[in-house]
Amino acid sequence: MNMKNILIVDDDPFILESVGEILIENRYKVYKSSNGEEMFKVLEKNSIDLILLDVKLPDRTGIEYLPELKHFYPDISIIIITGNAEINDAVKAIKMGAYDYLKKPFKGKELLLSIEKALKWNELLFRNENLQEQVEKDFSFQGIIGKSSKMKELVKMIKQVSKTDSNILITGESGTGKELVAKAIHFSGKRKNNPFVPINCASLPETLLESELFGYVKGAFTGAYNNKNGLFKVADSGTIFLDEIGDMPLSLQAKILRVIESGEFTPLGSTVVLKTDVRIISATNINLRDRIVENRFREDLYYRLNVVNINIPPLRERREDILLIAQHFLEKYSIKMNKKIKGFSEGVKEIFLRYDWPGNVRELENAVESSCALTTDEIIDVKNLPSHLFGNIMRSNRNEFIPINRPLKETIDYYEREYLVQLLKFCNGNVTKAAQIAQIARQNLHSKLKIYNINVKDFRK
Ligand SMILES: Nc1ncnc2c1ncn2[C@@H]1O[C@H](COP(=O)(O)OP(=O)(O)OP(=O)(O)O)[C@@H](O)[C@H]1O
Ligand SMILES: [Mg+2]
Task: List the domains of the chain with CATH numbers.
Answer: 5-135 (3.40.50.2300), 144-313 (3.40.50.300), 317-459 (1.10.8.60)
Query: What pLDDT does 394 receive?
Result: 44
Say if pTM beats, i.e. exceeds, 0.85.
Answer: no
> How far apart are the CA of 212 and the centre of ligand 1, in A?
24
Q: 410 or 454, which is more confident?
A: 454
Query: What pLDDT does 274 receive?
Result: 96
Query: What pLDDT does 396 receive?
Result: 39
Query: What pLDDT does 133 receive?
Result: 58
* 7-21, 68-82, 283-297, 301-315: range with lowest mean pLDDT: 68-82
**Ligand 1 pocket test target in 170, 176, 323, 329 with most atoms within 8 Å of CB:** 176
Q: pLDDT digit string (tens) for 144-191?
A: 999 889 999 999 999 999 999 999 999 999 999 999 999 999 999 999
CA of 181, closest atom in ligand 1: 18
Ligand 1 pocket check for 215: Cβ under 6 Å:
no
- 62 pLDDT more than 60: yes
pLDDT, mean of residues 123-134: 57
Q: In the chain, what percentage of residues exceed pLDDT 70?
A: 92
Query: What pLDDT does 74 receive?
Result: 82
Per-residue b or e along 164-180, where b marks 16 or more CB atoms closer than 10 Å to that residue's CB: eeebbbbbbbebbbbee
CA of 312, closest atom in ligand 1: 21
- 385 pLDDT more than 50: yes
Q: 224 or 210, which is more confident?
A: 210
Query: What pLDDT does 56 receive?
Result: 85
- 243 pLDDT more than 60: yes
Query: What pLDDT does 325 receive?
Result: 93
Query: What pLDDT does 393 receive?
Result: 47
* Mean model confidence pLDDT for the chain: 88
Ligand 1 pocket check for 176: Cβ under 6 Å:
yes
pLDDT, mean of residues 96-100: 82
> How far apart are the CA of 366 and the centre of ligand 2, in A?
15
> How far apart are the CA of 238 and the centre of ligand 2, in A?
19
**Ligand 1 pocket test target in 170, 173, 180, 243 with most atoms within 8 Å of CB:** 180
Ligand 1 pocket check for 178: Cβ under 6 Å:
yes
> How far apart are the CA of 163 and the centre of ligand 2, in A?
23
> How far apart are the CA of 184 and the centre of ligand 2, in A?
14
